[in-house]
């Protein structure tokens, strides 16, 4: 390894490289094109920084004067591009590299002046880089290496044409390194076209997704979904938490609600300016905010320190998006939690997402009020401040306090003051974890053998007279001796219908019908002998009912006939006014 880079890693506290960093810097890969698939948070940025360093520095340990760029690093979003720039600045700092960025939302004139002064490495988003190429602000003739970070995301976001244009403008003898969470068909085709004999690298972390992340699926009622998010945030009290929504409107709604509840919260969505987004991320990094509510696109590729909790307030659209969301936590060996808020009617979708992503989740109830308060007390008692000795400055107040109040009242005051500084948890409705599964599954069609002891009855109506089970059921229940639960199968034949009645209700039904068995005028219900026959004959043809003219309201005159469709009204007789016609409204 180049000494200046080794010094930068040691200063940063690196004791060992991650698997992806070791894989891309393995002996024999110098000068090779690489197609690398690794999960988010595996140290890819430092990895490709180490990989391209020998190509950029050659035999030197420091960079020379900055002129035209030697390397391009392309990222899908401005947040990720700026994050990559920060990582490369400390990695190449000892080597004297100058890193420039070209991203959307920033002042293009400032970027142009930085490129004119010279840069060794340019980190850019595809659209803004193409703009600089069109304006002649950047010269790609000296490019020795091109890195595509999150290549699959750039294709999903519609940057294929921009990427092909950039790769086509770069020298053919350059190195091309593609880093992607997955390698779909589009990435494979791009690699085949623009890479030369690329080495395919798959780390073990890719094959077992997010081993440092604990997935928990919280089953809630639909009306308690947002309240459950509040309880999850309160239960974990993470240093940094990221709450994902699917729309900007949801981000705005949750941000307002969390702010009203006392959370230090910021928003991150596409409608914000670049300055607002940068300030929001900086507030998370320096501790002024602890909760960030974001959409998928806005949070793509961001890296927040001490991010211990990711909450899916709304389920993502696919398993890959869920992995990208969850990958914001559990980075660089830290443990993290990915919490899915699952309304009961969305459980099947959540199960499909987990199955597609190849991860397992623990299905649990969201934290209750009692659990949140118990966790608060546990954190309060485990605070190291209890082990600190009383200072001389504090001793006078402590003596006055203990002289005025007993221990019980002091402890109660400490607890109340602690709870007053935090948002109160929400009282949630508790539903069975498998309730949604039971509601989703339709009960099997009830047959005679699993209905229990029963007796068949017949009705003299069938398909020929328009009989249907939904019409027969209320006719039979009209006797008030049976309900829908006492009726089993209903079989409609051509000229009659058979109804299965529970044996325990037969006597009451016969008694209520009387000797005639009439359930409706002209319809009788008779006890049958045996079971209904199989109806294998053809259905009778349906015939259109003949027209029957309606009688006039006053009982005089000819019967009323319906107006003919699609025809003009008859002309008025000579010497008489035409029939009145309502004028159409203007416009």
CATH number at residue 292: 3.40.50.300
Structural domain contains residue 436? no
What percentage of residues in the chain have a pLDDT greater than 90? 32
Task: Look up the domain containing 394 and give its range.
Answer: 374-420
Output 324 or 552, whichever has higher pLDDT. Answer: 324
Range 362-383 average pLDDT: 91
> Cβ distance 436 to 347 under 8 Å?
yes
The distance of Cα 68 from the centroid of its chain, to the nearest Å, equals 42
Structural domain contains residue 440? no
Structural domain contains residue 307? yes
Q: What is the pLDDT of residue 206?
A: 45
Query: How many CA atoms lie less than 13 Å away from 367 in the CB half-sphere?
Result: 21
E strands, 158-261, where?
A: 175-180, 199-202, 213-220, 240-245
- Same domain? 132 vs 23: yes
Structural domain contains residue 564? no
Q: What is the pLDDT of residue 436?
A: 45
Task: Please tell me the total count of domains within the chain.
Answer: 4
Structural domain contains residue 567? no
Which secondary structure element, helix H or strand E, spans residue 502, and what is its range? Answer: strand 497-502
> Cβ distance 222 to 342 under 8 Å?
no
- Same domain? 196 vs 220: no
Mean pLDDT of the residues in the chain: 83
Residue entry with tokens 């390698």: 183
Q: Report the alpha-carbon distance of residue 197 to residue 446 in Å, rounded.
A: 63
Q: What is the pLDDT of residue 555?
A: 56
Q: Report the alpha-carbon distance of residue 362 to residue 213 in Å, rounded.
A: 12
Q: Which of 156, 173, 207 is the last residue of a domain?
A: 207
pTM of the model: 0.56
- Same domain? 281 vs 399: no
Q: What is the pLDDT of residue 339?
A: 95
- Same domain? 264 vs 166: no
- Same domain? 153 vs 13: yes
* DSSP reduced 3-state for 146: strand
Specify which residues 518 forms β-bridges with.
Answer: 524
Instruction: Work out the pLDDT band at 478, boundaries 50, 70, 90.
Output: confident
Q: Which of 173, 207, 241 is the last residue of a domain?
A: 207
């Amino acid at each position: 390894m180049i000494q200046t880079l080794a010094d930068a890693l040691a200063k940063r506290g690196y004791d060992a490289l991650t698997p992806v960093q070791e894989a891309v810097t393995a002996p024999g890969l110098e000068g090779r094109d690489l197609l690398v698939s690794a999960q988010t948070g595996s140290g890819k940025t430092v990895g490709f920084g180490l990989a391209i360093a020998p190509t950029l520095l050659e035999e030197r340990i420091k960079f020379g004067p900055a002129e035209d760029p030697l390397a391009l690093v392309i990222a899908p979003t401005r947040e990720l591009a700026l994050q990559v720039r920060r990582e490369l600045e400390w990695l190449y700092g000892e080597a004297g590299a100058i890193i420039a960025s070209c991203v959307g939302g920033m002042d293009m004139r400032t970027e142009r002046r930085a490129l004119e002064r010279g840069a060794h490495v340019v980190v850019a988003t595809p659209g803004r880089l193409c703009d600089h190429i069109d304006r002649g602000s950047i010269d790609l003739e000296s490019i020795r290496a091109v890195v595509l970070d999150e290549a699959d995301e750039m294709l999903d976001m519609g940057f294929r044409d921009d990427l092909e244009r950039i790769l086509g403008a770069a020298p053919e003898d350059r190195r091309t390194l593609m880093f992607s969470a997955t390698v779909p068909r589009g990435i494979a085709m791009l690699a085949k076209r623009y890479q030369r004999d690329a080495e395919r690298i798959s780390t073990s972390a890719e094959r077992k997704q997010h081993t440092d992340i604990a997935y928990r699926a919280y089953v809630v009622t639909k009306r308690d979904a947002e309240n459950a998010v509040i309880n999850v945030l309160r239960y974990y009290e993470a240093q940094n938490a990221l709450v994902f929504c699917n729309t900007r409107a949801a981000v705005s709604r949750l941000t307002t609600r969390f702010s009203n509840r006392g959370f230090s919260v910021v928003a991150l969505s596409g409608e914000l300016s670049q300055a607002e987004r940068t300030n929001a991320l900086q507030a998370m990094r320096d501790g002024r905010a602890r909760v960030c509510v974001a959409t998928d696109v806005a949070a793509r590729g961001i890296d927040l320190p001490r991010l211990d909790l990711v909450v899916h307030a709304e389920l993502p659209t696919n398993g890959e998006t869920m992995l990208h969301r969850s990958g914001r936590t559990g980075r660089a060996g830290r443990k993290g939690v990915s919490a899915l808020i699952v309304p009961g009617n969305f459980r099947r979708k959540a199960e499909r997402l987990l199955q597609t992503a190849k991860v397992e989740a623990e299905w649990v109830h969201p934290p209750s009020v009692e659990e949140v308060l118990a966790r608060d007390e546990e954190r309060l008692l485990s605070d190291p401040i209890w082990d600190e000795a009383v200072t001389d400055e504090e001793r006078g107040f402590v003596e006055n306090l203990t002289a005025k109040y007993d221990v019980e009242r002091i402890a109660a005051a400490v607890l109340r003051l602690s709870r007053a500084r935090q948002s109160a948890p929400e009282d949630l409705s508790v539903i069975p974890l498998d309730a949604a599964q039971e509601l989703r599954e339709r009960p099997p069609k009830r047959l005679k053998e699993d209905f229990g002891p029963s007796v068949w009855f017949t009705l003299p109506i069938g398909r020929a007279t328009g009989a249907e089970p939904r019409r027969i059921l209320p006719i039979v229940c009209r006797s008030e001796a049976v309900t829908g639960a006492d009726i089993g199968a209903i079989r409609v034949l051509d000229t009659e219908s058979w109804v299965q009645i529970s044996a325990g209700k037969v006597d009451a039904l016969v008694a209520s019908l009387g000797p005639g068995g009439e359930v409706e005028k002209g319809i009788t219900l008779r006890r049958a002998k045996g079971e209904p026959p199989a109806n294998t004959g053809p259905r009778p043809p349906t015939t259109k009912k003949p027209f029957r003219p309606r009688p006039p309201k006053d009982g005089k005159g000819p019967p009323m006939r319906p107006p003919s469709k699609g025809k003009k009204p008859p002309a008025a007789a000579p010497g008489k006014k035409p029939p009145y016609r309502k004028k159409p409204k203007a416009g």
